[in-house]
């Protein structure tokens, strides 16, 4: 297998688009003894963010917050990082960029996995006339919401490079494609209006996109088997299907290995990031299998109904605190009933509202310590308030959403 076939088109300082790829929305503070590349800095900024930490308690497919052996969103991200880095290194691409996109690609996922995304999307359509999708929400989080302290303990936006931000919003792995090639233009990323609308602008982003599919297809099958979602006949059908393409297949690890090697062998700058016809058929067959036997399984129905109830109830309770210029008073009054929810929400608002409208005391201290985009301004319309609530909910873990929902049941 020939290596480094993509070295000449990698996102390195020799790339003609390099300065644009490493550009940031504002100038990020620097240190004199900095040894990291721009993309390596992005990786560690995401790694230290709260949004990344919360992935460990967000559902991948199976809601099982007390089972340590079921894949969470954080573990899925680690799988994508592993798969994509292996491919990128072999092809001669920039593995630091690949890792940064991979670790950040699912920061926009809502609690309760794709079911939570569906519920929030319904609320988004009602209040804003647009669908919620986690790729766009991921860009919103890294651009506008997630904060890190600078050298002077002031909380600021992540301010990631263009290439990483682009990889996050363009990573949709649900679209069935082969021969992925990056787009030519570095467009304004607000032009993305739906998942998969544009390809990533880098080869590294294309690698993460296909790695996302490899990672979730393989691990979702493993979890389904461990949880007893697949009976013996279905498991035998799966093994027979996998062995159509490789008689030595024993488990999903082997399947993932074969797909990785096949991409490394078949991808070229002329053909794109691609699988051979043999393994393209396999990955599509596996995806169809997952949708038929896992994602639509009747045992997931109670979880879907529960997710809808939890998110809608939290949203409704918070929405009732909107009272034009008196919303802070309404939140304060509700603390005697829902202290965890309301104390968390008012701190959220304080970070992203203009300090002029934030009440004196601890909340104003929080607000003044955050030198970030004040995306909610003066919080003066119901639409802005609803946006703040959906941002707040979309950032929750399953565990926290359940905790505050249980608080609603107490009174």
Please write the tens of the pLDDT for every residue from 15-70: 999 999 999 998 887 777 888 899 999 999 999 999 999 999 998 887 776 777 78
**3-state SS string for the chain:** CCCCCCHHHCCCCCCCCHHHHCCCCCCCCCCCCCCCCHHHHHHHHHHCCHHHHHHHHCECCCCCCCCCCCCEHHHHHHHHHHHHHHHHHHHCCCHHHHHHHHHHCCCCCCCCHHHHHHHHHHHHHHHHCCCCCHHHHHHHHHHHHCEEECCCCCEEECCCCHHHHHHHHCCCCCCCCCCECCCCCCCCHHHCCCCCCCCCCCHHHHHHHHHHHHHHHHHHHHHHHHCCCCCHHHHHHHHHHHHCCCCCCCCHHHHHHHHHHHHHHHCECCCEECCCHHHHHHHHHHHHHHHHHHHCCHHHHHHHHHHHHHHHHHHHHHHCCCCHHHHHHHHHHHCCCCHHHHHHHHHHHHHHECHHHCCCCHHHHHHHHECCCCCCECCCCHHHHHHHHHHHHHCCCHHHHHHHHHHHHHC
Q: Report the pLDDT value the prediction gives residue 79, as an integer from 0 to 100.
A: 94
Confidence of residue 251 (pLDDT cuts 50, 70, 90): low
Please write the tens of the pLDDT for every residue from 211-226: 999 988 878 888 888 8
Q: Report the pLDDT value the prediction gives residue 68, as an integer from 0 to 100.
A: 76
Model-level pTM? 0.94
Domain boundaries, the chain: 7-107+146-296, 300-410
Q: Report the pLDDT value the prediction gives residue 174, as an integer from 0 to 100.
A: 61
Ranges 201-215, 273-287, 377-391: which has the least confidence: 273-287
Please write the tens of the pLDDT for every residue from 112-121: 998 999 999 9
Q: Report the pLDDT value the prediction gives residue 144, as an integer from 0 to 100.
A: 97
Task: With a cut of 70, say whether residue 167 has pLDDT above it.
Answer: yes
Task: With a cut of 60, say whether residue 134 has pLDDT above it.
Answer: yes
Please write the tens of the pLDDT for every residue from 276-323: 998 898 888 888 888 888 888 888 899 899 999 999 999 999 999 999
Please write the tens of the pLDDT for every residue from 182-195: 999 999 999 999 99
Where is mean pLDDT largest: 55-64, 130-139, 150-159, 169-178? 130-139
Pick the CATH number of 7-107+146-296 from 3.30.2350.10, 1.10.760.10, 1.10.3210.10, 3.40.50.300: 1.10.3210.10
Task: With a cut of 90, say whether residue 345 has pLDDT above it.
Answer: yes
């Amino acid at each position: 297998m020939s290596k480094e076939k993509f070295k000449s088109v990698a996102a390195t300082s020799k790339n003609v688009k390099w300065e644009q790829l490493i550009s940031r929305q504002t100038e990020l503070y620097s240190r004199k003894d900095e040894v990291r590349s721009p993309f390596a800095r992005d990786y560690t900024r995401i790694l230290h963010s709260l949004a990344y930490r919360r992935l460990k308690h967000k559902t991948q497919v199976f809601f099982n917050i007390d089972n340590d052996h079921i894949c969470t969103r954080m573990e899925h991200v680690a799988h994508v990082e592993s798969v994509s880095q292996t491919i990128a290194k072999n092809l001669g691409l920039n593995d630091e960029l690949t890792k940064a996109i991979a670790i950040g690609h699912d920061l926009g996922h809502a609690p309760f996995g794709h079911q939570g995304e569906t519920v929030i999307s319904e609320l988004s359509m009602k209040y804003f006339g647009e669908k919620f999708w986690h790729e766009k929400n991921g860009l919103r989080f890294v651009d506008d919401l997630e904060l890190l302290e600078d050298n002077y303990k002031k909380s600021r936006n992540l301010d990631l490079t263009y290439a990483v931000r682009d990889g996050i919003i363009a990573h949709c792995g649900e679209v069935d494609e082969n021969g992925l090639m990056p787009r030519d233009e570095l467009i304004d990323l607000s032009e993305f209006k739906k998942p998969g609308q544009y390809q990533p602008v880098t080869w590294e982003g294309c690698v993460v996109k296909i790695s996302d599919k490899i990672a979730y297809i393989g691990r979702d099958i493993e979890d389904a088997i461990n949880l007893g979602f697949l009976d013996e006949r279905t498991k035998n059908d799966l093994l027979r299907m996998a062995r159509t393409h490789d008689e030595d297949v024993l488990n999903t690890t082997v399947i993932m290995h074969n797909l990785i090697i096949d991409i490394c062998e078949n991808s070229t700058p002329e053909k794109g990031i691609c699988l051979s016809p043999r393994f393209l058929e396999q990955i599509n067959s596996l995806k169809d299998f997952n949708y038929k036997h896992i994602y639509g399984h009747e045992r997931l129905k109670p979880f879907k109904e529960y997710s809808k109830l939890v998110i809608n109830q939290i949203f409704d309770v918070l929405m009732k605190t909107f009272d034009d210029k008196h919303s802070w008073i309404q939140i304060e009054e509700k603390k005697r009933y829902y202290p965890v929810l309301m104390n968390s929400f008012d701190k959220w608002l304080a970070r992203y509202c203009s300090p002029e409208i934030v009440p004196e005391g601890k909340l104003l201290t929080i607000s003044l310590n955050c030198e970030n985009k004040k995306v909610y301004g003066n919080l003066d319309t119901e639409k802005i308030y609803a946006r703040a609530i959906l941002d707040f909910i979309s950032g929750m873990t399953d565990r926290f959403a359940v905790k505050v929902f249980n608080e609603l049941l107490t009174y």
